[in-house]
């Protein structure tokens, strides 16, 4: 049964990697400067500040094993942050609300181990929805300082339509996939009311070349969130859905966000 589920999930993920075409996004809330600085250094003082900052929990996505997030976790550690990786239960196949409850317990463990009152969440794909449910409905707003999502389908994606087209049924029976479908009851509940509740600082990062989140602008949030489109700053930067956790330019935006610095992504970062 588990093998069949994994095969179905793999097939669904493969379908999602098919190229898709999306309309151009609305203008970003902040217009990037004509010239973006390529200077992006981290000083000893920056590292000391990071070490004293909130611990960072990297929240993975669907089929996202922990090791897949080691690259971004390693960057954060090298810059002084205390980092742990949260792998979604059952690789994220199940109910997103259950994954959010498990995340709640994990955050409490991190807070207890570090003595921190709050954590920062850097999330990828489905992990962004898991984290939003935790913040909005499970008391996370009192325990999370910064929320950063990388390619999370905040308002859903056409994944189910593609899988249905291939004759595999509704998301091949994967509950989380069904919940990430545009118009799902899960997303209706999650997106009812304020997108950015509580004192949490909300940031999203998205890319034109995202193969899994379509339309791309569904990865943005309303109600005062800071929404960063990689190509609004670096038009020639090519970053896919999985690439968001590997890309150097994307990482500079994440680090600047966590440091409460001005957002000026380094287009030449590796």
Question: pLDDT digits over 82-101, tens only?
Answer: 999 999 999 999 999 999 99
Does 140 map to a domain? Answer: yes
Q: Domain containing 134: what range?
A: 44-153+194-259
Give the tens place of pLDDT for each residue, 176-221. 999 999 999 999 999 999 999 999 999 999 999 999 999 999 999 9
* DSSP summary character for residue 167: T
CB 98 within 8 A of CB 64: no
C-alpha torsion sign, points 107, 112, 113, 115: positive
Residue 255 belongs to domain with CATH number:
3.40.50.1820
**8 confidence band (pLDDT: 50, 70, 90):** very low
What's the rounded Cα separation, in Å, for the pair 249 and 229?
A: 11
CB 228 within 8 A of CB 249: no
* DSSP summary character for residue 171: G
What's the rounded Cα separation, in Å, for the pair 78 and 94?
A: 33
Does 211 map to a domain? Answer: yes
Does 29 map to a domain? Answer: no
Query: What pLDDT does 50 receive?
Result: 87
pTM, 2 dp: 0.86
**134 confidence band (pLDDT: 50, 70, 90):** very high
Give the tens place of pLDDT for each residue, 46-61. 888 888 899 999 999 9
Does 167 map to a domain? Answer: no
Enter the tokens of residue 163: 């899988």
| E strands in 82-118 | 83-86
Does 160 map to a domain? Answer: no
b (16+ CB within 10 A) / e for 103-141 = bbebbeebbeeeebebbbbbbbbbbbbbbbbbbbbbebb
Does 74 map to a domain? Answer: yes
What's the rounded Cα separation, in Å, for the pair 195 and 47?
A: 32
What's the rounded Cα separation, in Å, for the pair 140 and 206?
A: 23
Average pLDDT across the chain, whole number: 87
Does 139 map to a domain? Answer: yes
Higher pLDDT, 42 or 241: 241
Does 132 map to a domain? Answer: yes
> Three-state SS for 58?
strand
SS3 of the chain: helix, strand, coil, percent, to 5: 45, 10, 45
Mean pLDDT of 241-251: 97
pLDDT at 23 over 80: no
Mean pLDDT of 142-158: 97
Q: At CA 95, angle to CA 93 and CA 97, rounded to 5?
A: 135
State how many domains the chain has. 1
Q: Which residues pair with 122 in a beta bridge?
A: 58, 148
Q: What is the chain's Cα-based Rg? A: 18
């Amino acid at each position: 049964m588990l093998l069949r589920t994994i095969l179905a999930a793999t097939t669904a993920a493969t379908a999602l990697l098919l190229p898709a075409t999306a309309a151009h996004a609305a203008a970003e809330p902040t217009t990037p400067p004509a010239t973006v600085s390529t200077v992006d250094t981290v000083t000893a003082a920056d590292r000391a500040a990071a070490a004293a900052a909130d611990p960072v929990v990297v929240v993975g996505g669907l089929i996202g094993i922990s090791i897949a997030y080691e690259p971004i976790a390693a960057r954060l550690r090298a810059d002084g942050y205390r980092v742990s990786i949260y792998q979604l239960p059952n690789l994220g196949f199940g109910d997103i609300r259950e994954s959010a409850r498990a995340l709640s317990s994990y955050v409490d463990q991190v807070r207890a181990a570090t003595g921190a009152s709050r954590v920062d969440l850097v999330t990828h794909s489905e992990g962004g929805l898991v984290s939003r449910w935790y913040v909005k409905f499970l008391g996370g707003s009192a325990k999370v300082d910064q929320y950063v999502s990388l390619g999370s389908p905040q308002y859903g994606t056409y994944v189910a339509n593609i899988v249905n087209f291939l004759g595999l049924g509704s998301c091949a029976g994967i509950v989380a996939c069904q919940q990430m479908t545009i118009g799902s009851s899960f997303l209706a509940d999650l997106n009812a009311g304020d997108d950015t509740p509580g004192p949490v600082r909300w940031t999203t990062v998205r890319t034109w070349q995202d193969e899994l989140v379509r339309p791309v602008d569904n990865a943005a949030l309303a109600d005062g969130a800071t929404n960063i489109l990689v190509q609004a700053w670096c038009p020639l930067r090519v970053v896919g859905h999985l690439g968001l956790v590997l890309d150097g330019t994307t990482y500079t935006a994440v680090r600047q966000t966590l440091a409460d610095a001005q957002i000026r992504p380094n287009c030449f970062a590796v």
